[in-house]
Structure 1
Amino acid sequence: MSFNTPAGTRGARQPGGAVVWFNKLAKRLIRRGGGRFQGFDALILTTVGRKSGLPRETPVGWFQGEDGSWLIVASAAGAAKNPAWYFNLAAHPDQVQIEVQGQKIAVVAEELHGEARETAWARITASAPRFAQYQTKTDRELPVIRLARLPQ
C-alpha cells in the first residue's frame, strides 16, 4: 500500500479560496441527491488528518472497481501537487470511511500502480474524459486509489 506519487513541476492552479464553501455545498447536495453531483457518482471521503488527527470530509467522484471496490482519482483538477486528502490517506490508509448512497462504510485505501493502475485509468477516462484532460495539465501521474471494504 505505497502512496508515493510525487508532485509535478507544472499543472493547473490548485483549487483554493472558495473550496471550503464549495465542498460544504457539494456534501449537502450529495447527501440529498442520492450520491450524484455534477454528473458523477459521488461519495464523501472521511480521512484522518495526517497532522491534526481530526476527521476530514471531502466530496469526490468515484468509479466502480472490478471487484466491487470504489476507485477515486487524486486529480486536484490537474494541479502540480496532490490534494491534501491524498496525504491523509497515505498517513492513515486503514482509518478511512466513505459515505455513499446514505451508507457509511469503513474502507481501506490502496494506491494502484503498474498494470492495475493502467486498467483502472482506462476505465475511468472512458467514462469520464474530464480526467484525461486533467492529466494533460500536469506532469505528475494522477494517483488512482482503490477503496475496499474492511473485512468484518
Structure 2
Amino acid sequence: MAKFEMDTEFVRKLAQILHETDLGEIELAEGDRRIRVARPAVTVAAPAAMAAAAPPPAAAATAAAPASGDVAKHPGAVTSPMVGTAYLAPEPGKPAFVSIGDKVAAGQTLLIIEAMKTFNPIKAPKAGTVAQILVDNAQPVEFGEPLMIVE
C-alpha cells in the first residue's frame, strides 16, 4: 500500500474556498485518493422541534410583504442560495437572529437554511436595516427565493 502524502497547502486552499463561498464542504477524488474538507455544521435542534416552536414576532410582518416577483428585483433583497428549510432562530425557544428594524453588519447571520441535514448560515451581503422578513420560521424555500430585504 502506497503512503498517502498530504499536501497541506492544497488543504488550506480548499479551506479558503469554503470560507469564500460559504459552502459547508468540498470533496475531491482522484483514483484511490480522496480528500474532504468540511466546516463544522451549526448545531440546531431537530427540524420537527423547530416547526413546533412559536414563530418569532417578526414573522407576523411577512404577511404584509409584496409578491416575491416584485421583491426579488429589490436592490436589498437577500435571496436563498439553495433549496431547503429556512429557520429564523438558531434553535427553538431562542430569539430570532434578526427582527424588522434591526441594524445589521455585513456578514452578520440573518437566518439559517437546512439543506440535506446541514445548517447553512445566510449572511447579510451589506450593512443596513432589516426592512422586511419574507419567510416564516420552518418554511421551505427555493433557490433564488427572496428571504429578506436589507436596506
Normalising by structure 2, we get a TM-score of 0.23
Normalising by structure 1, we get a TM-score of 0.23
Flag the structure with larger Rg.
Answer: 2
